[in-house]
Amino acid sequence: MMNQPETPEGDTRASGMAQLVRGLLIDVGLPIITYYVLRAAGVSEWIALLAATGVAGARIVWGIAVRREVNQFATVMLLVYGIGLVLALVTGDERILLLKGSLITGSIGAVFLVTAIIGKRPLTLAAMKSFQPSRAAELDEEFRTEPIARRANILSSYVWGIGLLAEAILRIPVVYLLPIDIGYLLSELMLIAAFVLLIGWTVWYMRHLARNSADRAAESA
């Protein structure tokens, strides 16, 4: 059977993923720019990493202030940023600030898996609401009333959980075996690569669901 045109539902999901990509690029890009601009200005690795971490945390707080809501996704991010910053300040080890990347993706991956196993509020739903606050109520209603939407969110949470945990583990030797200036960039590029792969899978999966939905509608017509 020939592929059906994209459905409005598929277009909406694709638009949501585009917003997710833009948000992630900002979340990852701003700290990287901050770090290397400061390093080029002669600032120490320690201060540059602290500043990059502060920029990343401020971005999350700003998002919460705009939405006026603290969801699962933002809560995990804030907790891990806070823990990483405290550990770095206590130990005086700048590599702890690099390791926070693994703490973040590993913790988020674990939460993805736990919420997928529980099945009531998978983290994919909270993530989509974070980047599409105007559709938050609609996304909640879809999850509550549409079995396909529930299954899609749960499966996506499993895939993202496994992917992020794998990335977190692979990043650890990069942090401790390479010079900081190189390790920071490479670890962030690993994060971007992981998200690109996961987002690519998610886009494919959404289009697959949209095509199946269109095929079923055509068969029942």
Q: Is 106 inside any structural domain?
A: yes
Q: Which of 168, 185, 175 is nearest to 48 (CA)?
A: 185
Residue identified by tokens 């990347």 is 101
159 pLDDT band (50/70/90 cuts)? very high
Q: Can you give the residue range of the structural domain that contains 110?
A: 21-208
How confident is the model over 173-180, as a mean pLDDT? 87
Q: Is 68 inside any structural domain?
A: yes
Q: Is 215 inside any structural domain?
A: no
144 pLDDT band (50/70/90 cuts)? confident
Q: Is 15 inside any structural domain?
A: no
Q: Is the pLDDT of residue 162 over 90?
A: yes
Residue identified by tokens 């990059």 is 52
Q: How much is the pLDDT for 16?
A: 54
Q: Which of 187, 186, 190, 210 is nearest to 198 (CA)?
A: 190
Dihedral sign, Cα of residue 50, residue 100, residue 87, residue 97 = negative
Q: Is 3 inside any structural domain?
A: no
Number of domains in the chain: 1
Residue identified by tokens 């529930």 is 150
102-141 pLDDT, tens digit per residue, is 877 888 889 889 988 887 778 788 777 766 677 778 878 8
How confident is the model over 88-102, as a mean pLDDT? 74
3-state DSSP call for residue 121? coil
More confident residue, 175 or 131: 175
Q: Is 218 inside any structural domain?
A: no
Q: Is 136 inside any structural domain?
A: yes
**Residues 201 and 159: beta-carbon distance below 8 Å:** yes
Q: Is the pLDDT of residue 100 over 80?
A: no
Of 10-14, 54-58, 167-171, the poorest mean pLDDT is in 10-14
Q: Tokens standing for 175?
A: 């942090």
Q: Is 14 inside any structural domain?
A: no
Q: Note if the pTM is more than 0.85.
A: no
Q: Tokens standing for 20?
A: 């997710």
Q: How much is the pLDDT for 77?
A: 61
25-56 pLDDT, tens digit per residue, is 666 677 778 878 888 888 877 787 777 777 77
Q: How much is the pLDDT for 84?
A: 66
